[in-house]
Structure 1
């Protein structure tokens, strides 16, 4: 299991954090190792690398490996460095120019970490680029976007304390991780991102020397955890927890007596979950699984099927008092992909999953959140629900809402809640799925009302 919080993740995760510090470190401790022309000679070098005035250039064909004894197997230490893209940086074709900035990850031992950088337009599917991808213990945990320019050096501080990692960018928290197992491997700066796997299929990648190398300087290693001045370690943060087939966000808990709520859903839940978190601040911890998982047309009765495997991992991060749940219905029921969820699979598959969830987490109150309307954009710019996609949503909602009621699962009817707002959608808005912030606040209020019916009595 991996834990990583991403305070500035945009889009896929949507986490907002405001923890401030300064770039100064909170201690006068001296580094145990610092990159310069003398210490560079003790490093292992892969490819052609020179250290000039404490600066090295990484072009995708080279790397610098620090002495193993500096960090191998240790729980507490700090790494600092400054990084920038090349002065004549140019956007490269898809899947070109990615770099493992720093890593000690041992995939065989499922230990250590990786910070990977993927520049502008890196992703083959057009997804978020200019991004750090973060891995711990061999599993990808998230990405943090838009974080490196080409004109100035950016300072990064990686602070390890009791197997927890906090990463700072120019003194501001960037991300943090728990349960990072100590790695026996040395720190390596500059390995190229290798092709292979879903993230960077080999057929798309032609590894070539980067025309404009990344510039790295002021590498320092401290033998203890040193946080930037002004950083409050007790500040409330969210944490991504990853495992096979899931990646979720959990509140870092300091009061074990408070109830725990888990919000599961697709992008609609990204609009309302922050309001739920704010409402229960100080009264309950609210975790979040964006996306969840759908379960058709696979064999849902298989105990090792992906949905059950994912839900086991997610629920093992509990126990949860309450779980609000939508099974990616906006995607699963899309008329563009009719094979994802044939209508004849809905009742048996949902019955199987509800039975599984109630059996696996019998003390948890599950709450179903149904599918919101599928709108269409009319010629005059107004929005309508008179379309085939919405008729499928209505039909499937009817099946699932009844099933949930029959199995004792409360239903939050966001479909009905949404309908009065269809006529208020901004004229000409091409997004026919999502809603305004005001509407998402209404959605949140609906969920909060239902959640509070099932909260431990002292916490309502």
Structure 2
């Protein structure tokens, strides 16, 4: 092999190596709030990491227990970020007219604080049995006062219980609750809705992306 061919071959190997470097794989599991901010997180990590959200809405911890193996699949995840809560603390009644039969006056809570904590405990045990990925729990976001099926003060109780479970398992916590209150007050859909405008989801995404960025380093 002459000198020119050798140099060309070495350059080819350098380029091949550069393109074959594996990007970190991050799985986001969560409800509609996470569905709202995930596109902004994907944009932030474009070219740096592969961001995947579980198919559809992760709903409550009961759904998580049913589907967690399916969501994990066979992928070699580097980070798994997860959150449940808004569906768990929701009160529902079959005759309620609000979307999703939400009714905090006459309804029954989906999972009590104790049940929520127990389900999270089981979920983490299951996840850890399937993967060595770094786990990050994101706290439940703000519930405005006029929401039909949720009680504002419940969020702190559920988050407190979740943090104890995370501490037990050594799972990191990205506590976005306090900041989500301020974001919702300015960029929420309304005082009767837990969701956000596009600007609100973009604001939330910065809380997520900055935390993930730190973990990737």
Q: TM-score range by the shorter chain?
A: 0.7 to 0.9
Larger relative contact order (CA 8 Å, sep ≥ 6) = 2
- Aligned partner of 1:332 in structure 2 is 88
Structure 1 segments of 4+ aligned residues over 4 angstroms from their partners: none
- Aligned partner of 1:354 in structure 2 is 124
Match of 1:262 among 27, 33, 38: 27
CA displacement, residues 56-100 of structure 1 (integer Å, 9 cap, x when unaligned): xxxxxxxxxxxxxxxxxxxxxxxxxxxxxxxxxxxxxxxxxxxxx
Aligned pairs for 1:182-193 (under 5 A) are none
With normalisation by structure 1, the TM-score equals: 0.37
- Aligned partner of 2:201 in structure 1 is 440
Higher strand fraction: Structure 1 or Structure 2?
1
- Aligned partner of 2:156 in structure 1 is 394
**2:42 and 2:50 in contact (8 A); partners too:** yes
2-structure distance, mates of 1:255, 1:316: 23
CA displacement, residues 149-189 of structure 1 (integer Å, 9 cap, x when unaligned): xxxxxxxxxxxxxxxxxxxxxxxxxxxxxxxxxxxxxxxxx
Aligned pairs for 1:260-409 (under 5 A) are 260-289=25-54, 290-296=56-62, 307-327=64-84, 329-336=85-92, 338-361=108-131, 363-377=132-146, 389-409=151-171
2-structure distance, mates of 1:261, 1:450: 12
CA shift in 2, pair 1:373/1:357, >3 Å: same
2-structure distance, mates of 1:338, 1:314: 28
CA displacement, residues 291-310 of structure 1 (integer Å, 9 cap, x when unaligned): 125334xxxxxxxxx64452
CA displacement, residues 347-369 of structure 1 (integer Å, 9 cap, x when unaligned): 222212112211221x2011111
CA shift in 2, pair 1:287/1:423, >3 Å: closer
Larger Rg: 1
2-structure distance, mates of 1:452, 1:416: 20
Question: Alpha-carbon deviation of 1:339?
Answer: 4.4
SS of residue paired to 2:53: strand
With normalisation by structure 2, the TM-score equals: 0.73
C-alpha RMSD over aligned residues = 2.6
CA shift in 2, pair 1:295/1:355, >3 Å: same
Gaps of 5+ in 1: 1-253, 297-305, 378-384
